[in-house]
Amino acid sequence: MFEKLKEDLGVFSSFFFIMLQLTNRSLAIDTLRISEAKYRSLFENIDQSVIYLDATGNVVAINQAAEQLLGLPRDVIIGRKFNDSCVKVIKEDGDAFPEEQQPSVLALRTGKPVEGVVMGLFNAERQNYLWVVVNSVPEFRMGERQPHQVLMTLTDITRQKQSEGKLSMASVIFNNIGEGIFVTDKDKKIISVNEAFTALTGFTQQDVFGKSASLLHSKKNSIKIDDELSNLSEAVNSWQGEVWRRHKSNMDFPSWTTVSEVRDSSGETAHYVHVFMDITHFKKAQDHLGFLAYHDPLTKLPNRLLLKDRIDHSLQNALREGSQAAVLFLDLDRFKGINDTYGHAVGDGLLRETAKRIKNLVRKEDTVSRYAGDEFVVFMENIPNAKNPAKLAKKLIDTFNAPVYIKGYRLKISTSVGISLFPQDGHDTETLIKNADAAMYRAKKEGRNNFQYYSLELTTEAFEKMSMECALRQSIERHELILYYQPQVCLKTGELVGVESLVRWMHPTQGLMLPKHFISIAEDSGFIVALGEWVLQNACMQMVRWLDEGLNVNKMVVNVSAIQLLRSDFVATVERVLGSTGLDPSYLELELSGSGFMDNSEQIIKTLNKLVALGIDLAIDDFGVGCFSLNNLKRIPVKKLKINNSFVADVLNNVDDEDLTRALIALGHGLHLQVIAMGIESKAQQRRLMDLGCDEGQGYLYSSPVLPWSSIFRKLCASNIFKA
């Protein structure tokens, strides 16, 4: 078009045209300048980060937004490859972004825009990744097919990426954490549970979805979580504590639980998040630790701490109730020698065996403690009398008569025991233990293998009793027991109605002893069973002899203790004696004497019925002072009541005693029982008792207890009439 104009206008026109051309050009340049300035200003001030790369991939321009985003000045970046300049480029999965796949490179190579590529740009200075979405648009010069540059825009998505990361991290934690988690809505309905929750409780998401959180609350709990949660506030928005959780199988387990309240943007409760862990093992370990704190690990016995605690507590009760208690301090004799000779393993075995033997001997309510080394303490609370601990001490000493076998060794040991009593030897735990320990040292000094009370008198008494018991046990084989007989008489006619056998013991050094000095020892030691059988056997034999001789004796009265009746073989013993002696049971009357009938009445009543079924008569001794309740009296098939000496002695002088005796006689008759008075010494007593309606009598007025071959006795029996 310019060439045609040139031809038409000629030279002038050429000049004009040149001028026009120049003017147009400068106008165009101006326009271009203005446009470029506008463009530059736009480029610089736009929020979008923009970078231009040339055809070789080098940065040629970068705007301020991009500079800020990358945190690098443009002179560091311009002229360098984008990823060389300052950044390491990674893909979303964290792997390095290969250069040939980067959007700018692709756009340059393909000539097509590459959009929406997520890249992580590592900033070495800040040491973190910047996440951007990159669009790369190739630009072409007129007529060229290859882009001469590429425009790259970068949009910062770091925040979005971070929150995405946090969410996925929370999800990973929720499902992989070992603690059980369940989330409820504000109404405490379960909306979500994690995998550990199912593993711990057995409940799946399906089992519990939409159900109340109380479903997971065991009945064993004393706390109410709902109450705790109602106390939460904005300042304190979580609660922690021990909670018993329900397991689907109903095997509840203890858990340590944290409940956090989650509020929405308006501050209202939106959710509760319960996080809990099973603490069964921890609790077991804790219990074990608690056990170890108060027990000796070797013998499993209470240690000093627990012993002190128990004694302290018990002494308070004892003080309130006015009861007695005892501390027994045991020390194994020559234990050190065993430890040194056989080694510690054997020593430990011996201590364990000692603990076992002691425990086998004590009452349920007693405390056995390993106090130290080879020292053991037994605490006996509520003891009936001061002699009781001596019995246990004796048994403890005797238990070591049997050798101990440990690891193939036969060990013979002994123990020394010291006893202190509450309240007489001390009012507090320390003093009682200290004094029992002192007594134990005295026992060691006395030659070991024995016991000592802290109080010397009690020791003497206990030893006397012990030596008496020992001698008594030999009385049968040494033929030291002797039976005396005392007649029982009908008060009205003076007729002989029976003879009571009364045992005596010819003690080897102390001479003839009356029953009051040895019957209680025999009862305490259990020897009464053998003694009673001996009496029964000999009394029955004597009766058979008298009957054979034609003496007029109707009844042989034999005293029986409650301890004998408690033996399951008592009836069989009586049958055996009757069988061996050939005595007809109707000649035998058993007099139930002593205490102990009340405690075991049911068992005893059964035995008494069996005896009556054999044809034996029963009488109750010491009626009025003994321990038969009136209620039991109705149920016992007894024939006779024996009124105790004490009433008879004062029946003449004391109106009260006379009234009581009259009442006892009336009571006996009311129950259709015969009544015999004991201890009649004078005719006046006999008359008064007759007036009061008493049926029979026994006492020195007729005869004192005598030997069977006594001539007076035989004469009386032969005539059958006592002319008192």
To the nearest whole angstrom, how small is the minimum distance from the Cβ of residue 698 to Mg ion?
Answer: 9
- 535 is an interface residue for ligand C2E by CB under 6 A: yes
String of contacts with ligand C2E for each residue 415-444, x by CB under 6 A: ------------------------------
> Is residue 681 near ligand C2E by the rule CB under 6 A?
yes
Q: Which of 102, 486, 607, 674 binds ligand C2E (CB under 6 A)?
A: 486
Q: Write the CA distances from 219 to 241, 254, 700, integer angstroms.
A: 16, 12, 75
Candidate list 136, 559, 581, 674; residue touching ligand C2E; CB under 6 A: 559
CB of 697 to Mg ion, least distance (A): 14
- Distance CA(155)–CA(135), nearest Å, equals 9
Using the contact rule CB under 6 A, the part of the chain among 66-74, 115-123, 198-206, 697-705 near ligand C2E is 697-705
Choose, by CB under 6 A, the member of 519, 583, 643, 665 that binds ligand C2E. Answer: 519
d(CA 294, CA 303): 5
Residue with smaller CB distance to Mg ion, 425 or 621: 621
516 counts as binding ligand C2E under rule CB under 6 A: yes
What CA–CA distance (Å, rounded) separates 680 from 487?
A: 12
Query: Out of Mg ion, ligand C2E, none, which partner does residue 452 contact, by CB within 5 to 8 A per kind?
Result: none
If DSSP states are collapsed to H, E and C, what string results for 500-519?
Answer: EEEEEEEECCCEEECHHHCH
- Taking the least distance from each CB to ligand C2E, the nearer of 318 and 678 is 678
Q: Which of 439, 357, 366, 442 is nearest to 401 (CA)?
A: 357
**How are the residues of the chain apportioned to helix, strand and coil, as percentages rounded to the nearest 5?**
45, 25, 30
| Token reading at 540 | 């029955």
Distances (CA, A) of 189 to 259, 310, 456, 600, 679: 14, 49, 76, 61, 88
Judged by beta carbon distances under 5 to 8 A according to partner kind, the member of Mg ion, ligand C2E, none in contact with residue 498 is none
Which two tokens mark 167?
């969410």
Q: Any contact of residue 679 with ligand C2E (CB under 6 A)?
A: yes
Of 360, 364, 358, nearest to 382 by C-alpha is: 364
- Copy the structure tokens of residue 473: 């046990």
Look at residue 436 and give the partner it binds from ligand C2E, Mg ion, none, a contact being a CB closer than 5 to 8 Å depending on partner kind: none
What gap in Å lies between CA 48 and CA 137, rounded to an integer?
Answer: 14
Question: How far is the CA of 659 from the CAs of 424, 490, 650, in angstroms?
Answer: 41, 22, 11
Binding range to ligand C2E, per CB under 6 A, among 207-215, 487-495, 557-565, 707-715: 557-565
Interface with Mg ion (CB under 5 A): 559, 591, 621
Class of residue 487 by CB neighbours under 10 A (exposed 0-12, middle 13-18, buried 19+): buried
E-strand ranges in 391-480 read 404-406, 409-411, 415-422, 451-453
- Which residue's CB is nearer to ligand C2E, number 324 or number 593? 593
Residue 294 C-beta: closest distance to ligand C2E, Å: 46
Report what 193 binds from ligand C2E, Mg ion, none; CB cut-off 5-8 Å by kind: none
Residues 613-672 that bind ligand C2E (CB under 6 A): 621, 645
Residue 53 binds what, of Mg ion, ligand C2E, none (CB under 5 to 8 Å, by partner type)?
Answer: none
CB of 550 to ligand C2E, least distance (A): 26
Minimal distance in Å, beta carbon 613 to ligand C2E? 22
* 279, 255 contact by CB (below 8 A): yes
Q: Which residues bind ligand C2E (CB under 6 A)?
A: 486, 502-503, 514-516, 519, 532, 535, 559-561, 591, 593, 621, 645, 678-679, 681, 698-700, 705
